[in-house]
C-alpha cells in the first residue's frame, strides 16, 4: 500500500525545481504542515512565504509576486482556497493572467470528521466557472508528479486539487501515461465507459475489473483535466458504449458529470448516470467510510453500470 500522499509529491517536485530556479516560491496560509510543505520551508526559507490564516492575502500576494517575475505556488485547504479567496482567484489570478498555481489541499471530504465546513465539494464547479482558470485533479502520486512538472513549464493560472491521505497507485511509476490536457485511458471497453477524476479513478478501475469477470466490457477514462476538458477524448471513449457513468468526489452539480453531459448532449447522446456526493451534508467519517456509504467504491460503481445496461 502506497504511503506517499499526493501533497507530499508536490512538495518533492517543487523542492527539486527550487534548487535550480530561485524564482520558484511557495506560499501557505498557516498550512505548511497540512500541505506537506514544511520540508520546503525549512530547506528554502527565502523562497517561502507564510501569510497566516488569510487566504485572500495568500492569493493576492501570490499574484503580486508573479507580476514581479516569481513563480508562486499557493497551498491552502481546498475548502477555504476555493471559497474565501474566490474573488482574488478570479480577479488577481485568472482575470489578470498571472502565473499563479493554486494548490487546494485536503480536497473533497478528506478532512473527514471536521465536517461540512472543511469539505470542498463545490470547488470543481466554482473554479471551472472562472474564465482563464485551468482545473486539475490528479488521481495518484505518479500522475501528480508529472502534472506538477508540466505546470512548472508554463506561465498560466491553474487550480490543482489533491486529497489529504495517501491513495493506492493507479499507474506504475515507470509507465504512468501523461499528456497535458488529455484524459488518460486506464482501460478500454465497448459496453460502457466510466469517466472519473481524482481519487475516484481507482474505484472506477476496480469496478471495470469486477465487471470484466462477469463478461461486461467497460472502459475507464481518467479525466484529471477538468478544464480544459478533453472533449475529443470523451467522444472517442464513448463512441461504441451503450452507457456512460461519471464518478467524482464532488457535489452532483457543476462538476465532472455536468461537464461530460454538456459534451454528450451536443454531440453524442448516451444513457448516462452521474455518481457524486449528495446534495446534502455528508456523513462524517474517513474517506473510505464515506465512499462506501454512498456507493462510491468499486462494487457501487459496478452496480450502477449494470443498472444502466439492463
Which ranges of the chain would DSSP assign to H, the alpha helix? 6-20, 38-43, 55-67, 78-81, 86-88, 123-128, 141-151, 201-213, 231-238, 256-267, 287-293, 298-309
pLDDT at residue 152 in the model: 98
Span 159-172, average pLDDT: 96
Give this prediction's pTM: 0.97
Per-residue pLDDT, 305 = 98
Question: What pLDDT was estimated at residue 175?
Answer: 85
Cell readout for 153 is 513549464
Helix (H, G, I), strand (E, B) or coil at 264: helix
Region 138-149 average pLDDT: 98
When pLDDT is averaged across residues 44-71 and rounded to a whole number, the result is 98
- Say what the pLDDT of residue 48 is: 98
pLDDT(269) > 90:
no
In whole angstroms, what is the distance from residue 15 CA to residue 45 CA?
A: 11
Q: Does the pLDDT value for residue 55 go beyond 90? A: yes
Average pLDDT of the segment spanning 176-196 = 97
Average pLDDT over residues 30-34: 94
pLDDT (mean) for 145-167: 97
Residue 267 has pLDDT above 90, yes or no: no
Q: In this model, does residue 173 exceed pLDDT 90?
A: no
Q: Which residues pair with 184 in a beta bridge?
A: 222
| Average pLDDT rounded to a whole number, residues 159-173 | 95
Query: In the prediction, which pLDDT does 174 show?
Result: 84
pLDDT tens across 225-248, in order?
999 999 999 999 999 999 999 999
C-alpha dihedral (124, 134, 150, 55), degrees to nearest 10: -70
Amino acid at each position: 500500500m502506497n504511503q506517499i500522499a499526493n501533497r507530499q509529491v508536490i512538495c518533492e517536485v517543487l523542492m527539486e525545481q527550487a534548487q535550480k530556479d530561485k524564482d520558484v516560491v511557495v506560499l501557505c496560509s498557516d498550512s505548511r504542515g497540512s500541505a506537506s510543505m514544511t520540508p520546503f520551508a525549512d530547506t528554502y526559507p527565502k523562497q517561502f512565504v507564510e501569510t497566516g490564516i488569510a487566504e485572500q492575502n495568500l492569493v493576492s500576494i501570490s499574484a503580486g509576486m508573479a507580476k514581479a517575475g516569481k513563480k508562486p505556488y499557493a497551498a491552502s485547504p481546498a475548502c477555504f482556497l476555493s471559497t474565501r479567496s474566490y474573488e482574488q482567484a478570479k480577479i488577481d489570478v485568472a482575470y489578470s493572467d498571472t502565473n499563479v498555481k493554486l494548490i487546494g489541499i485536503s480536497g473533497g471530504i478528506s478532512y473527514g470528521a471536521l465536517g461540512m465546513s472543511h469539505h470542498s465539494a463545490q470547488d470543481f464547479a466554482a473554479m471551472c466557472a472562472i474564465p482563464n482558470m485551468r482545473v486539475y485533479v490528479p488521481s495518484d502520486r505518479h500522475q501528480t508528479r508529472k502534472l506538477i512538472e508540466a505546470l512548472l513549464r508554463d506561465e498560466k493560472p491553474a487550480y490543482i486539487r489533491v486529497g489529504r491521505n495517501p491513495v493506492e497507485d493507479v499507474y506504475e511509476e515507470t509507465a504512468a501515461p501523461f499528456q497535458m490536457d488529455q484524459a488518460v485511458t486506464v482501460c478500454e471497453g465497448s459496453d460502457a465507459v466510466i469517466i472519473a477524476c481524482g481519487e475516484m479513478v481507482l474505484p472506477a478501475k476496480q469496478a471495470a475489473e469486477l465487471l470484466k469477470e462477469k463478461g461486461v466490457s467497460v472502459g475507464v477514462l481518467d479525466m484529471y483535466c477538468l478544464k480544459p476538458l478533453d472533449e475529443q477524448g470523451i467522444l472517442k471513449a464513448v463512441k461504441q458504449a451503450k452507457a456512460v457513468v461519471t464518478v467524482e468526489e464532488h457535489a452532483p452539480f457543476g462538476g465532472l458529470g455536468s461537464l461530460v453531459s454538456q459534451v454528450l448532449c451536443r454531440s453524442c447522446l448516451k444513457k448516462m448516470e452521474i455518481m457524486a456526493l449528495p446534495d446534502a451534508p455528508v456523513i462524517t467519517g474517513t474517506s473510505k467510510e464515506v465512499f462506501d456509504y454512498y456507493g462510491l467504491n468499486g462494487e457501487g460503481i459496478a452496480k450502477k453500470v449494470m443498472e444502466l445496461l439492463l
